[in-house]
Amino acid sequence: MIERLYEVFATPRPGVVDFCDHCVDAANVTPFTTVPLRHLTSDQVGKFWLKSGTIGDEMFVRYLLPRVMELIALGELEADFFWLRLVAEAYEQGDPREQAAVREYFLATPVALAGLVREGPKAGPLTEWCRTPETLAVLERAALNQPDPSGALSDAHAELEAHLSSK
- What does the domain layout of the chain look like in residue ranges? 2-165
pTM listed for this prediction: 0.88
Q: What is the pLDDT of residue 140?
A: 93
Range 162-166 contact pairs with CB under 8 angstroms and sequence separation of 24 or more: 163/131, 164/131, 164/132, 164/133, 164/136
Q: What is the pLDDT of residue 149?
A: 83
Which DSSP state fits 51?
Answer: T
Alpha-carbon gap, residue 118 to 104, rounded angstroms: 19
**Count of C-beta atoms within a 10 Å radius of residue 92:** 13
Alpha-carbon gap, residue 47 to 143, rounded angstroms: 32
Cβ pair 116, 159 in contact under 8 A: no
Q: What is the pLDDT of residue 20?
A: 67
How confident is the chain (167 residues) per 10-residue block, as mean pLDDT?
Answer: 94 78 74 91 78 66 92 90 87 95 96 92 92 93 88 91 86
Q: What is the pLDDT of residue 13?
A: 85
Q: What is the pLDDT of residue 99?
A: 96
pLDDT tens string 3-49: 999 999 998 887 877 776 777 777 777 888 899 999 999 988 887 66
